[in-house]
Amino acid sequence: MHDFDGMVGQIYDAAVEPGRWRQVLETLSDFLEGAATKLTFQNARTLHSEANSVRMPPEADLSYAQYYYKTNVFLPRIARLSAGTLIPIWDLLPREVYQRSEFYNDFCRPGDMCHSIGVVLANEPDVRVVFTCGRADATGEFGPEHLDRLRRIGPHLVRAAGVGLRLSRAEIVRSANVEALHRIAQGVLIVAANCEILFANRAAEALLTQADGIRIEKSSLHATSPAHAVQLRRLIATAADRSEAAGGDIALTRPAPRRPLSVLVAPLKIELTWFVPGRPAAIVFVADPDSAPRTLQGQLRDLYRLTPAEAAVATAVARGEGLQAVADEVGISLTTVRTHLQHVFEKTETRRQAELVRLIAASGFYERH
């Protein structure tokens, strides 16, 4: 008998401590009675893909990132699926097409991934994330009981992936740095199981002050709509307690013409030195679709403390422009552009233009037009 609640806790721990994902994949391999498991990450713009796997050949992840992602006959079909969709592979592709493919014969068979089930964890404008569990050909296909197990654990994987993406984009993967949280454009709150607010970033404070969708009452978080108040409290309680139904999504309605707030609630592991000692807590992300998005330059200035000139140079470089073109656009000398770019490298902890471009792309920033 598997410790389901313990497994759920591992998943949410990995959301804020990515180094734990390998152990989670090992646990999921056992839970689903598979041979190998992997997380596949695809850049939705370039289609370049990478995988982190367990129980596959040691060179599998590298060879996948260098070549085999191009042969993956499932990725174009997965691109059309929403987060949370379960994937018995025969629902995506006829068996004979898959078994004739280079991907099957040269990558899946040696890696004991001949028969697979999985779930789409994220399908966003910049990135797709897929969890897959596989079996060797000799073991046979997964049965209905394995899909039932995946159906139980899938929502937790989806929520954990959502939290991980949000945190990674804010450069707070390993430590929830308070100043970094304040720089996030959407609201972020840390709340106890009883909905007591332990922390709110500036965006969340603004929403609480407006009392439009969410509000604060006696130091606790509440939905302004009575119809959603109970549901929000339940999501927070289950997330903080890491129950089988931990967390979830909810749309909090507001008076017309304002659109609903989009809210994601998930468990959070609090270290002894952070906020309060060892207290069960949930992290709540609140997105306001009616708020004006910040420009790319503004996001870079806030997140990395760039000067306006440095942010302008970083933005131009991110668009793929040469340094002389950047100098002409910004109206400064080539020497000054190089100086600004060196400062950008130092502040973003990158060393080359290619690294800077990858950092900005991975952060999910967009230029306003």
The CATH number of whichever domain residue 120 belongs to comes to: 3.30.450.80
Domain of residue 266 covers: 178-287
Residues 94 and 159 sit within 8 Å (Cβ to Cβ): no
Verify that 79 and 8 share a domain, yes or no: yes
Examine residue 367 and state whether it is found in any structural domain, yes or no.
no
Q: How many domains does the chain have?
A: 3
Do 207 and 145 fall within a single domain? no
pLDDT at 178: 62
Same domain, 48 and 183: no
Q: Does residue 368 lie within any of the structural domains?
A: no
Tell me, yes or no, whether 302 and 283 share the same domain.
no
pLDDT averaged per 10 residues, the chain (length 369) = 81 85 94 94 85 92 93 91 87 89 94 92 87 93 93 92 72 49 78 86 89 91 92 91 80 88 82 43 85 67 83 83 82 90 89 79 49
| The token pair that represents 108 in the structure block | 């899946």
Q: Do 206 and 340 fall within a single domain?
A: no
Residue 176 is predicted with a pLDDT of 47
Residues 155, 11 within the same domain: yes
Task: Please answer whether residues 113 and 57 qualify as being in contact, where contact means their C-beta atoms are separated by less than 8 angstroms.
Answer: no
Q: Please count the other Cβ atoms lying within 10 Å of the Cβ belonging to residue 144.
A: 8
Structure tokens at 26: 């090992």
User: Are residues 132 and 158 both part of a single domain?
Assistant: yes
Residue corresponding to tokens 């902890």? 349
Is residue 278 domain-shared with residue 301, that is, in the same domain?
no
Query: What strands lie across the sheet with 248-252, from one edge to the other?
Result: 197-200, 187-192, 281-287, 261-268, 248-252
Q: Is the peptide bond before 125 cis (omega within 30 degrees of 0)?
A: no
- Do 149 and 199 fall into the same domain? no
Q: Which of 260, 287, 314 is the last residue of a domain?
A: 287
CB 114 within 8 A of CB 135: yes
pLDDT of residue 258: 86
Check: CB of residue 248 under 8 Å from CB of residue 261. no
Are 165 and 18 part of one and the same domain? Answer: yes
Do 22 and 164 fall into the same domain?
A: yes
pLDDT at residue 24, rounded to an integer: 95
pLDDT value of position 193: 84
For residue 257, is the peptide bond before it cis, meaning its omega torsion is within 30 degrees of 0? Answer: yes
363: its two tokens: 């952060």
CATH number for the domain that contains residue 325: 1.10.10.10
Same domain membership, residue 199 and residue 269: yes
CATH number at residue 206: 3.30.450.20
In a domain, 275, yes or no: yes
Answer whether residue 59 is part of any domain: yes
Task: Mark which of 103, 137, 169 sits at the end of a domain.
Answer: 169
The answer to whether residue 300 is domain-embedded is: yes
DSSP state of 250: E
Judge whether 312 lies within some domain. Answer: yes
DSSP state of 293: P
- Of 144, 169, 194, the residue at which a domain comes to its end is 169
Amino acid, res. 66: Q
230 in a structural domain: yes
